[in-house]
A = this chain, B = another copy of it.
Amino acid sequence: MEYQLNFSVNNKIYIRDPESSELGKEIVRKAIELIYEVGYEHFTFKKLALEIGTTEASIYRYFKNKHLLLVYILNWYWSYLEYLVMFQLKNIGDSKQKIRKIIEILTREMPIDSGKMKYDIPYLNQIVITESSKGYLVKEIKEINQAEVFKPFKDLCNTIANIILELDSEYPYPHSLSSMLIETSHNQQFFSSHLKRLTDVKNDEDASAYVAAYLEDLVFRVLG
């Protein structure tokens, strides 16, 4: 006789780990390309299968649906960003300088070590700007959240919150300021590219440079 725990502790993000096979990696790589090109709403597993030269059924063996594939991609990005933050801040002593670096990381388009990255970072940046809120703005938020699906985002938020506290240990809203910075870096980039009147960007000004300047000004007004 066997005893079995009958509740699923963590009904993960994927069915089969896409990192574990060539097809899996190809699914993620080409999904990034395709979502970048057509946008999340027009992105389908059928188009993706065609692009890769595989079948819908094969993709469904890796991901339950396109939403969880999006979330997988976003999570990879958040983990990558957290790694970047950790790595690039470790030799900076000054807290103010750390915040500046974080804003640079949150707003720049290119990775430093462009070229040999696993996934296409500039595409990912765009996807995150346009699609990342669709990862959590869903009716099923509670169930998805219980599956620990948003951990990478929360971790990144927490890491930045701690650096905020380093600079001003009395500041009462470090997590909200952190998540606001992340979200604002996206929507202000979107606005300054597509809905300029919602920002103060100049006509010929670079969108990410503008957002970086705005956010830096903002944070140092808030944290003194």
The answer to whether A139 touches B195 (Cβ under 8 A) is no
Q: Is A51 an interface residue (CB 8 A)?
A: no
Q: Residue of B at shortest CB range from A157?
A: B198
Choose, from A24-32, A104-112, A182-190, the stretch at the interface: A182-190
Q: Which residues of B contact A139 (CB under 8 A)?
A: 38-39, 41-42
| Interface residues of A, dominant DSSP | helix
Would you call B138 and A137 a contact (CB within 8 A)?
A: no
Question: Would you call A175 and B199 a contact (CB within 8 A)?
Answer: yes
Question: What chain B residues lie within 8 Å of A222 (beta carbons)?
Answer: 218, 221-222
Q: Which of A87-95, A116-124, A128-136 contacts B (4 or more CB under 8 A)?
A: A128-136
Give this chain's copy count.
Answer: 2
Whether the pair A41, B157 counts as a contact (CB closer than 8 A) is no
A153: chain B residues within 8 A (beta carbon)? 198
Residue A172 is within 8 A (CB to CB) of chain B in the complex? yes
CB distance from A147 to the nearest CB of B (A): 13
* Given known A175-B200, A176-B200, A200-B175, contact A195–B145 (CB-CB < 8 A): yes
Collect the chain B residues with CB atoms within 8 Å of residue A134's CB: 134, 137
Whether A173 lies near B217 (C-beta < 8 A) is yes
22 A-B residue pairs with Cβ-Cβ distance under 8 Å, sorted by A, are A39-B139, A41-B138, A41-B139, A130-B137, A131-B137, A133-B137, A134-B134, A136-B190, A145-B194, A154-B197, A154-B198, A157-B198, A172-B200, A173-B200, A173-B214, A176-B200, A179-B187, A179-B191, A180-B184, A183-B184, A218-B222, A221-B221
